[in-house]
Amino acid sequence: MSLISALNNVHAKGQFGDFEGKDDKNLLSISETTNLLILQIVQYKSSNSSLDNMQVDGLNLRDNPSLVSSNDNTRILWNGPRNWILVSQKKDTLNEIEQKFNDNEFAITDISHSKAIIEIEGKEAKEVLKKGCPFNFGELEKNQCLNSTYNGMSVTIDMLDDDPDKFRIFGLRSFGESLYHSITDASLEFGYIAK
């Protein structure tokens, strides 16, 4: 077994773009996030289970657009009506879910390998996103998420932090290289450190 992550072939460490003469702290940082458990959780229409009683890693599923429920390990992103994306560093969360969620009421699908994940951090991060994504980032706050497109590629964007701004961008794995090229290209103007 030798795991090769989605961006393994393109993500090279170093400093790029217009970084010269700038303090490292002011540069954007870009990294690939790997080895996460990613699940799609969907509640079927006829399910009567109250979401109040359904907890994963201590977090509730909440049917609120753009909401992210989170703790240190796990983030549950709203993905549509009665539809969530769970992202966790704890792989055994899958077992917890399979035990708790009845497959006549919930569809649980492992899509951990389906995504290329880029994390971008820095005060210009929103500017990078605005170059390819038509979403109104002025409205986006910490612990909110959205699905949209970046240069024509479908993406899910999760805002992890706002001091400085930090985002996790999920693209389809096969588009990973193109998405990475797009994001890094848009970052050249500001200068970035690939970590």
Partner 1 sequence: MTQSYRIETGGLINRNKKISFKFNGTSYFGYEGDTLASALLANGVHLVGRSFKYHRPRGFFGAGVDEPYAVVQLYRNGETEPNIKATEQELFEGLEASSVNCWPSVNFDIGAINNFLKIFLPAGFYYKTFMWPKSFWYKIYEPFIRKAAGLGVASTKHDKERYEHKYEYCDLLIAGSGPSGLASAYSAAKNGAKVILAEDKPRYGGSLLTSDVNIGNQSGKDWADGIISELKEMPNVTVKNRSQVFGYYDHNMLVMSEKVSDHLPKTKKYHPNKRLWYIRAKEVLISSGSIERPIVFGNNDTPGVMLSSAAKEYLKVYGVLVGKKPLVFTNNDSGYETAIEFKKHGVEPIVLDSRSNPQSEIIDEAKNLGINIKNSYVVVAAQGYKKVKSADVATISEDKKTLGKIENINCDCICVSGFWTPTIHLVSQSGNKTKFNEEIDAFVPGVSKQNETTLGAANGVFTLEETLKTSFEKGKELSKKITEKDNEISIPNVVEKKYSKHDKFWCVPLPKGKSYKRFLDFQNDVAVSDVEIALREGYRSIEHVKRYTTLGMATDQGKTSNLNGLQLVSEIENKVVPSVGHTTFRPPYTPISIGAIVGREVGKHSKPTRKSPIHNWHEEHNAVFVDAGVWLRPRYYKRGNETLFEASKREAKNVRTNVGVCDVTTLGKIDVKGPDAAEFLNRVYTNAWLKLPVGKARYGVMLREDGIVMDDGTTTRISENHYHMTTTTAQAANVLSHLEYYLQLVWPELNVNVVSTTEQWAGAAIAGPKSRDLLQKLFPKTDVSNEGLPFMGYVEGDLFGVKARIFRISFSGELAYEVNVESDNGRFMWEKIIELGEEFQIQPYGTEALSTLRIEMGHVAGSELDGRTIPYDNALEGLLSKKKDFIGKRSLQRAAFVAEDRQRIVGVVPLDKKN
Partner 2 sequence: MLHIKCPHCGMRSQNEFSYGGDATVKRPELNKEVTDQEWDNFVYNRVSPRGKHLELWQHLSGCRQWIKVERDTATHEIFKTYKANEEIA
37 forms bridges with which residues in the sheet? 88
Tell me the window of 22-30, 73-81, 94-102, 161-169 that interacts with partner 2 (CB under 8 A): 73-81
Place of tokens 């990973």: 176
φ/ψ region of 172 (left if φ > 0, alpha if ψ in -120 to 50, else beta) reads: beta
Contact, 115 vs 5, CB < 8 A?
Answer: no
Local structure of residue 88 (DSSP, 8 states): E
- Give the whole-angstrom CA distance, residue 76 versus residue 144: 10
Determine if 102 is a binding residue for partner 2 (CB under 8 A).
no
Find the shortest distance in angstroms from Cβ 40 to partner 1.
5
Between 60 and 154, name the residue whose CB sits nearer to partner 2.
Answer: 154
- Of the candidates 143, 159, 141, 168, the one whose C-alpha atom is nearest the C-alpha of residue 69 is 143
Binder to partner 2 among 49, 79, 143, 144 (CB under 8 A)? 79
Residue 9 in 3-state DSSP?
coil
Q: Are strands 145-150 and 55-56 parallel, antiparallel or unpaired?
A: unpaired
Find the shortest distance in angstroms from Cβ 128 to partner 2.
17
Amino acid at 133: C
* Residue 94 interface partner, choices partner 1, partner 2, none, CB cut-off 5-8 Å depending on type: none
Determine if 186 is a binding residue for partner 2 (CB under 8 A).
no
What is the x/- site pattern for partner 2, positions 123-162, by CB under 8 A?
A: -----------xxx---------xxxx--x-xx-------
Determine if 47 is a binding residue for partner 2 (CB under 8 A).
no
Binding site for partner 1 (CB under 8 A): 1-6, 9, 17-18, 40, 42, 44-47, 103-104, 107, 109-115, 127, 130-136, 138-139, 151-153, 172-179, 181-182, 185-186, 188-189, 191
